[in-house]
A and B are shown apart, each in its own frame.
Chain A
Amino acid sequence: MESLLLYLSLFLIFLTGWLLIQSISSRFSWSESLGFAFPVGLGLITLLMFVADWTGLGISGPVNAVLTLLLFLAALWLWAFRLKRHLALRAQAAALLHRRNWKPLLSGYNLAWLLLLLVIAYVEYSNFLKTVYFPTYDRDSMAGFDTMGFIAAREGTYRHMSIFDGNYALHIHNPGSYITYMPMLQLAYAYVYSLGAATSKLIPALVYLGFLFGFYGSTKRATCRTAAMLATLGMMMSPEMLSFSSLSNTNVVHACMASAALIYYCLWFRQHRRRYLLLGSVLLALSCWIRIESLVFVGAAFLLVLLRALKTRHFRPLVLPLTALLPILLFTVYAHTGGLTAPSVIIAHPFWDGLKAESVLNGALFLLAKPYYYGWTFPLMFIAFLLNVRHLFLHGDNAHVLLAFFTALVLYFWGLYHINYVWDSLDHVLNYSAKRFLFCFVPVTWFYMATLRPVRQAGRWIEEKLTLLR
């Protein structure tokens, strides 16, 4: 019975996300909607849990189940309302239901695409199985996210958990303490535990599985389907990211949301479609709800919107990347009113420390140049950049992607330089935290390579020759 309620609730979360994405625009493809429906629904339900906890309602199983149902009904109402307003959309839905000729849907595929799909399916089958088979065992999750979610579910509260009590956990208010972590994933784990799950691993497993669809769908917006599929395989085979995707810590889930947000901002920058900006902003807010370091992606997204706004003299879209900061503001107020605080580790004044700057720079170069943690991802990007210099200067080919990529990267390492390492060493942070943070750049890198002008042109030419069904 508990399992039934759990799976039903997760399905409703997925449907809620699906309906909301379709409410933004019915033009999002199946792969995009499939890909981002679960994380969008999960982000919203955890936000509701957060409010319920804040208002004293608690985060017990029955409360979470009722909140899920209410959220689903609200999403259904919004979708139906949009459907009613847009008759064209209704006609589209009717056409899909009464479609007689499916040939156009099946045309344009080739054996190379199919082989790539099979390899991705095999890799993800193994990865998904491993993820859900083993309960949480990695150190960061056991010493943080998963245990916090588990105890929150058992005690029916996040804010007043026993492990947040300074008398019981003496070091809870030390710098760098887990008490200050953004709470989305902990609440997501509390959600599944409160509904009877034995482990929390379904959450990272479903988010990563969805992301594969979402990444393919979003990349295909700017290139041919074979190049998009190749990029999806290249991205997923990034060894360190693949292995971390089976763990319960926040890194890969955050990387999925942050990179997808940046990709949609890049798509919007080139194609000027409002729906990309809206979905990008939702995903950006989600990434901020997972990890505070996502501020660097807000910075990169804001820069893209600002450049566009200066060109078009249309400044209203500037509000959207800033709305992604709302979860951080909300949690800051919640934390300060609830005593979930620790001394800041940020050095807020300007300073120069040559040795520290050199260490940060060397750490960054080491991570980007070594073809180990991320496979050939970053070296290939460097080669692609060199080969594409001509198109970059002649047509500005993917210059906006490079700009977003390097803005976020520089902001991140600049942030590392401004941290006072009182709870940990700089070397340790570079070797572990920074290594995992760079997961966010892996999908963006593959998106960059797959959508370069020569790749697009060559891909379309090859697909034209290979298409099995026209």
Chain B
Amino acid sequence: MHLSVKDKWWRIVLLNVMAVAVLLVIFRFALEFNTAYNWAWNSYIKHNLNEIRPLRHAPLDQRLGMKLGEDYHYLAYIRDHTPEDAVIYYPSLSDFKDPMEGENESPFTGKLTDKLSALRVLYPRRLVMSNEWGASPWTEKVTHVAIVNGKNLDKLRYAPPQGLFIGILPIDSVAPSAPTTTSVTAP
């Protein structure tokens, strides 16, 4: 059968439309029958866009807070309330994860308990970790103690203030600007 140029063109278009339809069916099939593809498409790709769009001008602290939660807010709080040359005693994973007295769970996940993760926010401050306490020459130079869930108050060289569960305090004496907050989340 001899087809005119116009008919040939329409046949090609029709074949293209059929190919597109086949591809769409394959996409649909993949999303329907594989939970991982479904997650990638609906949660990862679409959800990310929806999450980012309304907050496209959010400052970096807010963006990190969205991903790291209270753990990051706490680090940012320490950063904003200590001098850059501070040497900080940094709490252990169990300090972060064990809830304080009277609470069922800790507000922290313990995501940022290793030295480098904490330094990423606190640098150029120096950190002495719980497993370095006493063994590191930097122990003698500690100027501040990070308090979480009421832990590490015993590291202070003075009677700790009442009602302080989360915050950062100088190791030797309470400075006038020392916080006595129980929450580190920005209002």
Contact = CB atoms under 8 A, between A and B. Distances in A.
Interface of A: 110-112, 115-116, 119, 122-123, 126-127, 129-130, 133-137, 139, 142-144, 146-148, 150-151, 154, 162-163, 167-171, 178, 198-199, 237, 239-240, 242-243, 371-373, 375-376, 462, 465-468
Interface residues of B, number: 49
B20 A143 contact: no
A371 B34 contact: yes
Nearest to A167: B137
Contact of A143 (B24, B114, B123): B114
A139 B115 contact: no
Given A134-B67, A137-B68, A198-B60, A151 B119 contact: yes
B60 A465 contact: no
B116 A143 contact: yes
Q: Top 8 A-B pairs ranked by shortest CB distance?
A: A111-B16, A142-B117, A112-B19, A137-B67, A239-B40, A239-B36, A147-B120, A130-B48
B178 interface: no
A468 B15 CA distance: 10
B63 interface: yes
B57 to A, nearest CB: 11
Given A137-B64, A170-B136, A130 B52 contact: yes
Nearest to A131: B48
Nearest to A241: B40
Contacts of B12: 465-468
Given A112-B20, A135-B60, A466-B15, 15 more contacts: A111-B16, A126-B45, A127-B44, A127-B45, A130-B48, A137-B64, A139-B111, A147-B116, A162-B126, A168-B136, A178-B116, A239-B36, A239-B44, A375-B30, A462-B19
A169 B123 contact: no
A401 B183 CA distance: 57
Contact of A372 (B24, B36, B116, B138): B36
B124 A147 contact: no
Contacts, number: 125
B63 to A, nearest CB: 5
Given A126-B49, A144-B116, A243-B44, A375 B16 contact: no
Interface of B: 12-13, 15-17, 19-20, 22-24, 27, 30, 34-37, 39-41, 44-46, 48-49, 52, 56, 60, 63-64, 66-68, 111-112, 114-117, 119-120, 123-124, 126, 131-132, 135-138
A115 B20 contact: yes
B17 A111 contact: yes
B58 to A, nearest CB: 9
Contacts of A119: 27
B42 to A, nearest CB: 11
Nearest to A142: B117
13 contacts: A111-B19, A119-B27, A126-B48, A133-B52, A133-B56, A135-B63, A136-B120, A137-B67, A151-B119, A154-B123, A163-B119, A178-B116, A375-B34
B117 A143 contact: yes
Contacts of B30: 237, 375-376
A294 B20 CA distance: 39
Nearest to B129: A170
Contacts of B111: 139
B37 A375 contact: yes
B112 A142 contact: yes
A249 B155 CA distance: 35
B123 A151 contact: yes
Contacts of B40: 237, 239, 242-243, 375
A198 B44 CA distance: 24
A167 B120 CA distance: 19
A48 B39 CA distance: 41
A154 B13 CA distance: 59
A151 B48 CA distance: 30
Interface centre among B44, B56, B63, B116 (most CB of A within 10 A): B116
A199 B135 CA distance: 34
Nearest to B72: A137
B15 A150 contact: no
A92 B73 CA distance: 58
A129 B44 CA distance: 12
Contacts of A136: 120
Contacts of B19: 110-112, 462, 466
Nearest to A199: B60
A429 B116 CA distance: 20
Contacts of A240: 36
B120 A142 contact: yes
B173 to A, nearest CB: 26
A115 B36 CA distance: 22
Contact of B36 (A111, A146, A373): A373
A208 to B, nearest CB: 14
A154 B124 contact: yes
Given A154-B124, A168-B136, A371-B36, A111 B20 contact: yes
Interface centre among A143, A198, A468 (most CB of B within 10 A): A143
A343 B179 CA distance: 43
B16 A116 contact: no
